[in-house]
Homo-oligomer: A and B are copies of this chain.
Amino acid sequence: MPLLLDSPLDMHLHLREQEMLRLVAPFSAAQFAGGVVMPNLVEPVDSLARLRAYRTAITAACDPVPFTPYMTLFFREYSREELLAARDAIIGLKLYPAGITTQSEAGVSDFDRIGATVALLEELDIPLLVHGETNGFVMDREHEFLATYQWLAETFPRLRIVMEHITTAEAVALLDRFDNLAATVTLHHLMITLDDVAGGLLQPDLFCKPIAKTPRDREALCAAVFQGHPRLLFGSDSAPHPRHKKECCGCAAGVFSAPVALPMLAQLFEEADCLERLQGFVSTNACAFYRIIPPPKTVELQRKPWRVPEQYGTVRPFLAGRELRWSMPDKQEQS
């Protein structure tokens, strides 16, 4: 029996530009009604003009498959006029601490100075999406950032804040302390720990930011997701890098999970005996927190095994070579 999902959404997605955009966007469009598109391009998306041009390029890359790009602006100091003008074109602002991940050099280096812009977001009811890591020791970065989430949630109680790609048990726990917090969770952080990255041979394909944490952390994420926490939203953080950037000395961080997202999620939820909660994780929870109504689009998964290709173009996907139980009806078989 096929699995039908209503308007599944990927609430954290890197689509890149140009040739890479054209390579990867169709995978998201095949599986999702829409997705939240990250603005950390080589030249960050921090103006409405740039955002509109990027949106047009994304839609063109998905054509003829319908896909709604929920656009984000790169966080900087914005005026009230700028935010008012942008409000209808964006789903939120994305805040990066400076230097913490790919193309985040232009991010925030002094959190004492962001109050004015954040207050405007609260007033204008624009969500704030946050890459929540400090510049501390790699395994402690998210944990150390939780105080900043708490400060934001307390200081701006009407602001909707999304903790992006959370990886720790402590972040899951924080979610329950503040109603104005939600969090995205990736596919790979439900599946891997640092052991998978560096416990045997080093696996550059599984290297990502935030880095995968401990078994205890992964278990806490899985438990909360599979129990249907209403403020946990699927966000793949799918982030393609050409293969040579994953293998030379100094490998880029990012897992390209878009091609396998829904099939693997279906498998995980089925294994956890909670397949009926997948709809909430990949759509309903996000619609409720973001207050969006995505265009109707029914996505069908079939119970037919397929093997994930070793490579799509220049990019090696997450779970390359692995056989998955659920598949998309046809397009992926041709890849």
Chain A interface residues toward B at CB < 8 A: 137-139, 193-195, 197-205, 207, 211, 214-215, 247-253, 316
Residue of B nearest to A212 (CB): B198
Say how far A144's CB is from chain B's closest CB, in angstroms: 13
Q: A248 with B247: in contact, given A138-B194, A204-B202, A214-B137 (CB under 8 Å)?
A: yes
- A139: chain B residues at CB < 8 Å are 139, 194, 214
Residue of B nearest to A214 (CB): B137
22 A-B residue pairs with Cβ-Cβ distance under 8 Å, sorted by A, are A137-B194, A137-B195, A137-B199, A137-B214, A137-B215, A138-B195, A197-B198, A200-B250, A201-B250, A201-B251, A201-B253, A202-B204, A202-B250, A202-B251, A203-B249, A203-B250, A204-B204, A204-B251, A205-B249, A247-B247, A247-B248, A247-B249
In the bound complex, how far is the Cα of B153 from the Cα of A56, in angstroms?
Answer: 69
In the bound complex, how far is the Cα of B253 from the Cα of A200, in angstroms?
Answer: 8
Say how far A225's CB is from chain B's closest CB, in angstroms: 21
Q: Closest 7 interchain pairs by CB?
A: A201-B250, A202-B251, A138-B199, A202-B207, A247-B247, A138-B195, A202-B204
- A138: chain B residues at CB < 8 Å are 194-195, 198-199
- A205: chain B residues at CB < 8 Å are 249
- A247: chain B residues at CB < 8 Å are 247-249
Residue of B nearest to A197 (CB): B198
Say how far A168's CB is from chain B's closest CB, in angstroms: 14
Residue of B nearest to A200 (CB): B250
- A252: chain B residues at CB < 8 Å are 201-202
Q: Determine if B137 and A204 form an interchain contact, defined as CB atoms under 8 angstroms apart.
A: no
In the bound complex, how far is the Cα of B211 from the Cα of A138, in angstroms?
Answer: 13
Say how far A97's CB is from chain B's closest CB, in angstroms: 14
Say how far A248's CB is from chain B's closest CB, in angstroms: 7
In the bound complex, how far is the Cα of B193 from the Cα of A98, in angstroms?
Answer: 22
Say how far A143's CB is from chain B's closest CB, in angstroms: 13
Residue of B nearest to A310 (CB): B249
Q: Which of A138, A250, A252 has the most CB of B within 10 A?
A: A138
Say how far A198's CB is from chain B's closest CB, in angstroms: 6
In the bound complex, how far is the Cα of B199 from the Cα of A197, in angstroms?
Answer: 13
Q: A137-B215, A201-B251 are in contact. List 5 more A-B contacts (CB 8 A).
A: A200-B250, A202-B252, A202-B253, A203-B251, A249-B316
Residue of B nearest to A321 (CB): B249
Q: Which of A137, A194, A249, A251 has the most CB of B within 10 A?
A: A249
Q: A211 with B198: in contact, given A203-B249, A248-B247 (CB under 8 Å)?
A: yes
Q: Which of A202, A205, A250 has the most CB of B within 10 A?
A: A202
Say how far A319's CB is from chain B's closest CB, in angstroms: 13
Say how far A139's CB is from chain B's closest CB, in angstroms: 7
Residue of B nearest to A252 (CB): B201
In the bound complex, how far is the Cα of B249 from the Cα of A194, in angstroms?
Answer: 16
